[in-house]
Amino acid sequence: MILFFIIGLTLGSFANVLIRRLPQKNINLWTPSHCFQCAHSLSWLELIPIISWCIQKGRCKHCNYSISLLYPLLEGTVAVSFIICFNFSPQLLVACLLSLLSYFFILVIVIDFREKIILNWLNIAISITILCLQLAEHKDISLAFLSTFITAFVGVGLKTAFVKIKNVHALGGGDIKLMSALPLGLEVQQLPY
């Protein structure tokens, strides 16, 4: 249990990097973390999930710049979601896939909230993870793609209706792709729900 919590904290810390850097163009994910105010490269002691933020009282130790509470909250959220996923399923593979799926959903939620965009690679990652989860649970996925096409058709129809009737862009392409990925985990008769 502690191991899963630590893995969740570590991936939560990396989620902070992904959320900040992925929406930007031409950004290298592997450049060292640094303070956004003074550009000082952070040491490993300054990067310990939750603990470093608490020890430094939410401030950069070099320039005293305030570090958002979002960082430790996101690290803790990912860690707790991993614990919940591993308690949800006795099968290690299923628990890992559920954790990965929760991780991708957290990334989608935070990036969409901040940037108003759902990245294509996250929609693809969610789709693949849901399909792997279905296969790991020995479910028949032969009709899963039908649900996806039906949902995509409904999503495009809703988008078009909102534009024509209300002149409002209520759904973006990323929203429709995400809506289309989710039914991969449902059977056709569950689709209306």
39-97 pLDDT, tens digit per residue, is 888 888 888 889 989 999 988 888 888 988 999 999 999 999 999 999 988 899 999 99
Give the whole-angstrom CA distance, residue 66 versus residue 44: 19
Per-residue pLDDT of 101-115, as tens digits, reads: 999 999 999 999 999
CA dihedral 107→117→29→1, nearest 10 degrees, is 0
Identify which of 92, 163, 190, 175 has the alpha carbon closest to the alpha carbon of residue 126. 175
pLDDT of residue 192: 59
Q: How confident is the model at residue 188 (pLDDT cuts 50, 70, 90)?
A: low
Cβ–Cβ under 8 Å, residues 134 and 144: yes
Which segment of 34-43, 94-103, 123-132, 140-149 scores lowest on mean pLDDT? Answer: 140-149
pLDDT of residue 54: 92
Q: What percent of the chain has pLDDT over 70?
A: 96
pLDDT of residue 97: 94
pLDDT of residue 193: 55
